[in-house]
Amino acid sequence: MKRRHFPLAMAALAAVPACAANLERDRLKRMAGRVVPTHAAAKLDGVKLDRKWFGDYCRAKVSNHGKNAIAIKEIVLFAVPLALPPETILYGESFQMLSQTIGTLGKPVDLSYSELKHYRIPQPEGVTALSGMLLLSPSNEPHVLFSFTSCNRFIGRFYLKPDLLEIVVDTEGLALQPGESWELEEFLFFTHLIRSELLQILAERIAENHPPLKTASPPSGWCSWYCFGPGVTAKNVLDNLDTIAKEFPQLKYVQLDDGYQSAMGDWLGAGQAFGGDLTFVLKEIRTRGFQPAIWVAPFIAESESEVFKQHPDWFIRDDDGKPLRADKVTFAGWRRGPWYALDGTHPAVQKHLETVFRTMRQEWGCTYFKLDANFWGAMHGGHFYDAKATRIEAYRRGMQAILKGAGDSFLLGCNHPIWPSFGLIHGSRSSSDISRKWTTIRKVARENLSRNWQNSTLWWNDPDAIVLAGTLPENEFQFHATAAFASGGMMLSGDDLPQIPEERAIMLKKMLPPTAVAAKFADQSLDVGYSEFKGGLFASLFNWDDEPKRIRLKLPYICAVTDFWTGKSLGKQSGLVIEQMPGRSARLYVCKKAE
């Protein structure tokens, strides 16, 4: 961990008042952990849990010194009594990218899909389950962070009960053999007065444990999905390519999304809309000076695909040894399901994935891959070719094969398991799908901005496509564009660009190229965020409500302030107060330090 953060952090820890005293690190160290066997009656003779603290983080291992193998369901590292008020603000991550938890300790709220109801990820009854990290923000007190900072073999989880937090490593019922030890995932406990600095500490520690894949800047481009969906044709792509070349040359990547393939799972076979061959479209993209990009869901296949018909033994298996249908344990899939999932521990599957991506990179010329439905590569409830592997290992081995085949291409993870993807992707989708509706724009913006701490340190965040054509009022489109800008991440247009209105085309051009700097917010309200640049900062202001509200902008120094969207100068300011900022609106100000 970078020691430059410690003086502030230690001051914050010392300032934790009595009502939160039981969250201090020393109390954690004294709390007993426990090993939970898969079978309640199993004896744990000789099974030992060792925990060692290195400053703010803890490394643990479990060893079997006995004579018998023991199937272990999970390891409870700590059971923490909570003495925080129910109105304590909560933010928690999830196993699945499309799940996040907000709200309060007393009333947690699913920000997007529910892990339990939608993805049916097992969890104990009567708890709120989170994965990866949990941030608690008591009123007028330091923020308190519990997080796992690695995910090589196991996923770390948090089970919230009314007055108790269990910090758990899911060991998936694997058998710990006599004489065997498992290194568990690293755990971090930290408090800090400043939320953004606390989250930066977390991101940097994860990056130390999982060195990120590097690219110089976040990509910009165009995506076919939000204007054509699965009915995309070669003409749709080429018409947009013409407009991009004339009007939007900074949209470097031209991406074919879902719909080009002959079947889910048969990624090297094009469907009828492309005449059975899409390489001529990809070639034309390259000829015009742009980069071909393509959507692939590498781990899933439909029953009618050739890969499933010819190689049923390549797939995650059920208890009877047959390919496991996704709908038996989780969400079936959004199109042409129920899906089956490739087993990343199978050597033939690894070779298959490497071949698919090497073909697309070297023969087709694709330099950008949007990897969708990656969650199913880590699907729970099945059996793997390597019986000693966890679903985390299965997914990571499959991803490593993809990386090998894709070479120097950019890999975007989408619908993926967040923590298991560390160090394996260049970009990470940070929200659910956008649509041209206010309710979706508002929800997606909150999902994205809640994950700003990941951007540039772990990967480039993808706030999903920018959609600026449609019938929404100007204030809602401006809210959407400001939120995407404040993410500091990737910028892909999702509109049919030959049809985009001129005023919206101007807005899109203003957003290019991406800033690569995510806004930092003081709290989970996400009302005011600051993105620094040399000589100043961007200030993003949001009214998430339907009614007007008062929003105050504080500036760290006197600035020459300009409205980013209109170009109107607001003069030199040390701060601003908007007394009646309209509902469903945003402001984006360029604040340059005054001479």
> What pLDDT was estimated at residue 162?
85
Per-residue pLDDT of the chain (595 residues; tens, 9 = 90+): 333 332 222 233 333 443 343 447 788 888 889 999 999 999 999 999 999 999 899 999 999 999 999 999 999 999 998 888 999 999 999 999 999 999 999 999 999 999 999 999 999 999 999 999 999 999 988 999 999 999 999 999 999 998 899 999 999 999 999 999 999 999 999 999 999 999 999 999 999 999 999 899 999 999 999 999 999 999 999 999 999 999 999 999 999 999 999 999 999 988 777 888 899 999 999 999 999 999 999 999 999 999 999 999 999 999 999 999 999 999 999 999 999 999 999 999 999 999 999 999 999 999 999 999 999 999 999 999 999 999 999 999 999 999 999 999 999 999 999 999 999 999 999 999 999 999 999 999 999 999 999 999 999 999 999 999 999 999 999 999 999 999 999 999 999 999 999 999 999 999 999 999 999 999 999 999 999 999 999 999 999 999 999 999 999 999 999 999 999 999 999 999 999 999 999 999 999 999 7
Do 129 and 159 touch, CB atoms closer than 8 A? yes
Amino acid at 144: V
Give the domain extent around 550: 520-593
CB atoms within 10 A of CB 124: 12
Q: Which of 164, 184, 209 is the last residue of a domain?
A: 209
Is 481 in contact with 463 (CB distance < 8 Å)?
no
Q: Per the structure block, which two tokens stand in for 36? A: 């939970």
- pLDDT of res. 11: 31
> Is residue 325 one of the residues assigned to a domain?
no
Indicate the number of domains in the chain.
2
* Predicted local confidence at residue 29, as pLDDT: 84
Q: How far apart are CA 289 and CA 45, in angstroms?
A: 66
Predicted confidence at residue 266, as pLDDT, reads 97
In a domain, 412, yes or no: no
Is 43 part of a structural domain of the chain?
Answer: yes
| Cβ–Cβ under 8 Å, residues 546 and 568 | no
CATH label of the domain that carries residue 553 = 2.60.40.1180
Rounded Cα distance, 262 and 308, in Å? 13
SS3 431: coil
Q: For residue 361, what are the CA distances in angstroms to 12, 213, 241, 250, 258?
A: 49, 18, 20, 22, 18
SS (H, E, C) 235-285: HHHHHHHHHHHHHCCCCCEEEECCCCEEECCEEEEECHHHCCCCHHHHHHH
Q: Which of 209, 232, 251 is the last residue of a domain?
A: 209
Nearest to 241 by CA among 277, 278, 290, 294: 290
**Tokens at residue 262, please?**
């002959």
Domain assignment of residue 460, yes or no = no
Query: What are the structure tokens assigned to 296, written together?
Result: 């692939």
CB 219 within 8 A of CB 253: yes
The residue among 177, 209, 241 that closes a domain is 209
321 occurs within a structural domain = no
